[in-house]
């Protein structure tokens, strides 16, 4: 696979790892990889095995499934149950996330609700076209990477004159989340830098990170998804820390520019506006961190069309997802990890989403921890 | 007075559909069975048309197995529910090193199912059965109301004969044993998914559905007593099979990602869908655990067989109280291979 | 929600759509978010949409930097 395989070369990986080890002269480096896709790549390729022990990768909250409050899933389930004409379309990632009272979209589907997994918003539009007697509600989640496809779907629905399509909007913003983490870092993990998201940055560019790098004096390296990209980013971060720099650097030059995808940003800007506040699982309420449809498009907003009542659901008190999302604790530190909470019986999103820190650790990292312990 | 000869109206296989009378046990059902099933599956025992098939059993240890087939879509690149139901049950016998002797087939058909499709499935079963040399000697047909079955469900059972002295079992793997796989992984799962709603794309990937009994027979001979177990990685894929073996034998498994055979298009399809090929179903592959000293001989035999051309050694059995399956990634790092929690859902993230 | 993969555009289709290929696996996707795409270009694909074109020159530069990083320790 071109533009993929070249960045998975194991021999080159070892060579770069040697360079990192040689240059990582300080006793400790703590880098947060914000994006869930990076968490997954680090785990899948065993990248931590190649890094010197002084470097610790901390898994951040860049997994939109992980930060979605349970209440939003409760609302979606309630919507399908009270409105039998609704077909709820969702990305697969959300199906098994535990909601309140032992429910989930998968369970609701088994109970008879019309919930369908789609790969793309294009599929949801096709269903709306093909089944005019059904009202298609698309569960829109994701960071800035995934928002433009939702915007295009609403545009298409507008163009086609569809009256049976709307979205439940849970799109969230990356820079706000980074700000929230850095705000609380004073008594927290003491981060030395960020591995910046790959495809969020394709859309928003690298400019939005500059104010944060300056204000909090932390380097940000926007990084591609392949394992060699991540290794190179770690090297770039080590160098910045060693040299006392705190710049925004772009490792993913083949896909990311400083301005980003302006066309996509314009589309999103035309259809969406900022919510004053939005509750994030684990991070609490963050102002201007999420989107909703503008008034002109409110007929495509399922919340307004169906009068969805907000549900505030709290996590299981023993669940430490919120703390783990901020990197303050490791998965293995949570009491429930491996006992009550496993991929088969997830207590919180960190375990059920394959990008969540706990699922990644369970699937890829447990044996390493036990090896170190024995 | 002349008795008019009853007009025998042939089944309208082109446009006709299964209806409730076809399951009622009367003339309509008899006609369905004769015109579709007996025609496609024909063999001397089946021709007897009794409620059971009676045959002599050569002395020795028998193996028996059964499986239900509910695959959707019913027809996919490289196969269909019919050929799958023949191959799958033959393979369950073959994994014990048994020579498959006879199959039975039971059909639960949904009212309204097109006869053309039913005939296509029956023909496919007949071809698979003849190619494998394992006849379907008895069967059953039921029809359920519309909506109570996904077109058709098939259940097959099989009996076979285990060669004297051969005892393969999932709890016999021991540290030092070698783990082999008979060919490329993920073909079947991706072929099926390529036909489903929401995951449609054109590929050249065919299901690997095949009967493995001749390959396994050759492997047993080549292993000369050193074969511990064989298992086919169907639902749950290679990951599930390796974890089952680890738990049953109370050992660990260590494999190398770079050694696992996979077609580039299957790898690409999995990337596009966000699936891990280790979790994707296979229907014409097997995993074997062999004593180290006999591993090369078994591998050579596999590679010489048409169904084992891409066979490879992928790892070894190790001592491990946690019964983990570990993998050295192409990157040189380590990760665990866990079995799936629930159904594999494609990742978008 | 970042899983995205580089794919090669093999055919442009009406309505801002295109056929893209990943090692021979073909998918029909939307080009609505990107301008000036030609067959032979590589695009980053995410949930059925191309998000950007891959800049081949920058890709080569990145590979060169990776190789440099690999020898720096020697």
pLDDT tens digits, residue range A251-279? 999 999 999 999 999 999 999 999 999 98
**Cβ–Cβ of C62/A251 closer than 8 Å?**
yes
Touching chains, B (3+ CB pairs < 8 A): A, C
**Cα B89 to Cα B85: distance, rounded to the nearest angstrom:** 6
Q: Do residues B318 and B245 make contact, with C-beta atoms less than 8 angstroms apart?
A: no
Asked if A254 is an interface residue toward chain B (Cβ–Cβ < 8 A), one would say: no
Structural domain including C57 reads: 5-71
**Cβ–Cβ of B198/A116 closer than 8 Å?**
yes
Out of B202, B265, B348, closest to residue C23 by CB: B265
Give me the number of domains chain C comprises.
1
DSSP class of A366? H
Reported as a pLDDT band with limits 50, 70 and 90, residue C1 is: very low
Asked if A126 is an interface residue toward chain B (Cβ–Cβ < 8 A), one would say: no
Contacts of C5 in chain B (CB under 8 A): 271-272
A159-186 pLDDT per residue, tens: 999 999 999 999 999 998 888 888 876 5
Reported as a pLDDT band with limits 50, 70 and 90, residue A355 is: confident
Asked if C27 is an interface residue toward chain B (Cβ–Cβ < 8 A), one would say: yes
**Cα A33 to Cα A305: distance, rounded to the nearest angstrom:** 38
Distances (CA, A) of B282 to B74, B191, B286: 16, 10, 9
3-state secondary structure of A34: strand
Contacts of C26 in chain A (CB under 8 A): none
B247-271 pLDDT per residue, tens: 999 999 999 999 999 998 899 888 8
* A residues 257..316 contacting B (CB < 8 A): none
Structure tokens, A114: 């019309």
**Cα B308 to Cα B211: distance, rounded to the nearest angstrom:** 12
Touching chains, A (3+ CB pairs < 8 A): B, C
Q: Do residues A308 and A41 make contact, with C-beta atoms less than 8 angstroms apart?
A: no
This model of the complex carries an ipTM of 0.91
| CA–CA min distance C58, chain A (Å) | 5
Give residue limits of the domains in chain A: 5-63+174-250, 66-173+260-305
**Cα A185 to Cα A210: distance, rounded to the nearest angstrom:** 18
Give residue limits of the domains in chain B: 20-162, 178-336
Class of domain A66-173+260-305: alpha beta
- Which range (A131-135, B24-28, B340-344, C61-65) has the least confidence? B340-344
Q: Do residues B128 and B78 make contact, with C-beta atoms less than 8 angstroms apart?
A: no
Sign of CA dihedral A46, A50, A53, A54: negative
**Cβ–Cβ of B349/A64 closer than 8 Å?**
yes
For B275, name the nearest residue in chain C, comparing CA atoms only: C3
Place domain B20-162 in its CATH homologous superfamily: PurM-like, N-terminal domain (3.30.1330.10)
B-side interface with C, Cβ within 8 Å? Answer: 201-205, 264-265, 267-269, 271-272, 274, 347-349
Class of domain A5-63+174-250: alpha beta
Reply yes or no on whether the pLDDT at A26 is more than 50.
yes
**Cβ–Cβ of B335/A43 closer than 8 Å?**
yes
Model's pTM, two decimal places? 0.88
User: Which CATH number fits the domain B178-336, given the four candidates 3.90.650.10, 3.10.20.740, 3.40.50.1000, 1.10.10.10?
Assistant: 3.90.650.10
* B residues 232..261 contacting A (CB < 8 A): 258
Nearest by Cα to B310 from B131, B206, B132, B180? B180
Asked if C47 is an interface residue toward chain B (Cβ–Cβ < 8 A), one would say: yes
Top mean-pLDDT range of A140-149, B263-272, C21-30: A140-149
């Amino acid at each position: 696979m071109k533009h993929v395989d070249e960045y998975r070369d194991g021999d080159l990986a070892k060579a770069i790892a040697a360079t990192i080890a040689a240059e990582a002269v300080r006793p400790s480096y703590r880098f947060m990889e914000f994006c869930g896709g990076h968490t997954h790549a680090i785990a899948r390729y065993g990248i931590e095995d190649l890094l010197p022990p002084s470097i610790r990768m901390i898994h951040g909250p860049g997994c939109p499934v992980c930060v979605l409050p349970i209440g939003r899933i409760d609302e979606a389930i309630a919507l399908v149950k009270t409105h039998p004409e609704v077909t709820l379309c969702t990305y697969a990632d959300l199906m098994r996330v535990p909601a309140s009272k032992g429910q989930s979209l998968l369970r609701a589907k088994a109970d008879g609700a019309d919930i369908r997994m789609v790969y793309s918003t294009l599929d949801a539009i096709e269903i709306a076209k093909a089944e005019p007697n059904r009202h298609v509600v698309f569960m829109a989640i994701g960071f800035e990477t995934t928002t433009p496809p939702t915007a295009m779907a609403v545009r298409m629905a507008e163009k086609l004159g569809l009256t049976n399509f709307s979205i439940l909007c849970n799109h969230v913003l990356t820079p706000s989340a980074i700000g929230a983490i850095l705000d609380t870092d004073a008594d927290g993990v003491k981060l030395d830098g960020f591995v910046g998201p790959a495809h969020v940055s394709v859309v928003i560019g690298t400019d939005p990170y500059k104010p944060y790098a300056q204000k909090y004096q932390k380097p940000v390296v926007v990084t591609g998804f392949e394992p060699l990209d991540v290794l190179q980013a770690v090297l770039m971060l080590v160098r910045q820390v060693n040299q006392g720099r705190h710049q925004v650097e772009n490792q993913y030059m083949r896909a990311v520019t400083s301005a980003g995808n302006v066309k996509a940003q314009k589309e999103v800007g035309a259809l969406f506006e900022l919510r004053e506040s939005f509750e994030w699982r684990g991070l609490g309420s963050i102002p201007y961190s999420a989107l909703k449809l503008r008034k002109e498009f409110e007929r495509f907003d399922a919340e307004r069309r169906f009068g969805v009542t907000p549900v505030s659901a709290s996590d299981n008190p023993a669940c430490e997802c919120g703390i783990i999302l901020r990197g303050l604790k490791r998965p293995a530190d949570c009491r429930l990890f491996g006992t009550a909470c496993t991929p088969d019986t997830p207590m919180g999103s960190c375990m059920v989403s394959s990008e969540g820190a706990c699922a990644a650790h369970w699937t890829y990292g447990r044996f390493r921890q036990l090896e170190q312990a024995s | 007075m002349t008795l008019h000869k009853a007009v025998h109206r042939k089944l309208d296989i082109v446009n006709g559909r299964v209806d409730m009378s076809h399951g009622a046990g009367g003339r309509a059902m008899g006609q369905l069975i004769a015109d579709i099933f007996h025609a496609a599956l024909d063999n001397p025992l089946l021709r007897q048309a009794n409620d059971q098939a009676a045959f002599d059993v050569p002395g020795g240890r028998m193996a028996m197995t059964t499986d239900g087939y509910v695959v959707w879509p019913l027809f996919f690149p490289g196969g269909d529910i019919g050929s799958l139901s023949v191959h799958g049950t033959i393979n369950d016998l073959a994994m014990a090193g048994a020579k498959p002797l006879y199959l039975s087939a039971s059909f639960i058909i949904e009212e309204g199912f097109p006869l053309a499709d039913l005939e296509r499935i029956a023909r496919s079963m007949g071809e698979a059965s003849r190619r494998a040399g394992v006849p379907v000697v008895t069967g059953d047909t039921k029809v359920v109301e519309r909506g109570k079955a996904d077109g058709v469900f098939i259940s097959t059972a099989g009996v076979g004969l285990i060669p004297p002295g051969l005892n393969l079992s999932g709890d016999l793997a021991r540290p030092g044993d070698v783990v082999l796989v008979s060919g490329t992984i993920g073909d079947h799962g991706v072929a099926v998914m390529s036909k489903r709603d929401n995951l449609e794309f054109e590929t050249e990937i065919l299901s690997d559905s095949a009967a493995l009994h001749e390959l396994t027979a050759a492997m047993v001979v080549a292993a000369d007593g050193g074969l511990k177990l064989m298992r086919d990685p169907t639902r749950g894929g290679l990951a599930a099979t390796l974890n089952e073996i680890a738990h049953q034998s109370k050992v660990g498994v260590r494999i190398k990602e770079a050694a696992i055979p996979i077609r580039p298009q299957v790898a690409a399809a999995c990337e596009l869908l966000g699936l891990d090929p280790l979790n994707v179903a296979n229907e014409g592959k097997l995993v074997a655990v062999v004593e180290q000293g006999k591993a090369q001989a078994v591998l050579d035999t596999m590679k010489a067989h048409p169904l084992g051309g891409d066979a490879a050694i992928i790892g070894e059995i190790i001592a491990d109280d946690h019964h983990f399956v570990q993998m050295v990634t192409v990157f040189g790092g380590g990760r665990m291979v866990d079995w799936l929690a629930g159904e594999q859902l494609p990742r978008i993230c | 929600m970042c899983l995205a993969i580089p794919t090669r555009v093999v055919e442009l289709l009406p309505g801002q759509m295109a056929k893209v290929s990943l090692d021979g696996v073909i998918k029909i996707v939307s080009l609505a978010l990107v301008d000036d795409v030609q067959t032979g270009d590589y695009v980053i694909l995410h949930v059925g949409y191309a998000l950007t074109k891959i800049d081949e020159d920058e890709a080569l530069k990145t590979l060169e930097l990776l190789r440099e990083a690999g020898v720096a320790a020697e």
